[in-house]
Amino acid sequence: MEYGEAWGIQKQLFNAISQNEIIDTLIILQHPPVYTFGRRTIGRQLLSNKTTMLHVNTKDNENPPSPPFIKGGKGGFSDANNLHGILFYDVDRGGGATYHGPGQIVVYPVLCLKTYTEDYHGYLRMLEEVMIRTLSEFMISGKRLKGLTGVWVDGEKIASIGVRIIRGFTM
């Protein structure tokens, strides 16, 4: 599912859950190739290969705005490179620049977090633990790295976490 469409669904679910109209929901999907730039992205930089750094300039993007909290779209690079037609979005979530694409499972918990905990950092650690235990079922040894969010295998990041929490609700 295209990222912008998935974000729209998350917003709808968030609104319904925050108004107690439906129960907590877990979205599991795959995206076509897309880059997201969370609040921790430094200088909106994107490593397109091991030697070339492209700088994203969303202000020059001619596409209309995407759903709320998302800016960006196809193109918008300062050197006119559209990164091979891959979309990019500035997102109001934690985390840095992240690639999502076919073959990667993306999970979006849309829930009333305050029902379970008020410890938001503990929630991130719990998500990491779920990923570590899931990997272990496939005989893969994942671990945390001190001071970083996500899960690593042999020094390589295998799982990213980007969460948006508004008034105790996640999306």
Q: Which of 12, 6, 3, 1 is nearest to 169 (CA)?
A: 12
Cβ-based neighbours of 31, under 8 Å, separated by 6 or more: 1, 2, 3, 6, 100, 101, 102, 104, 106
Domain range summary for the chain, segments of one domain joined by +: 3-170
Query: Rounded to two decimals, what is the model's pTM?
Result: 0.71
Tens digits of residue pLDDT in 125-151 = 999 999 999 999 999 999 999 988 889
Kindly state the average pLDDT of the residues 65-79: 34
Do 56 and 44 touch, CB atoms closer than 8 A?
Answer: yes
Distance, CA of 109 to chain centre: 11
Tens digits of residue pLDDT in 94-124 = 777 888 888 888 889 999 999 999 999 999 9
- Superfamily of domain covering 3-170: Bira Bifunctional Protein; Domain 2 (3.30.930.10)
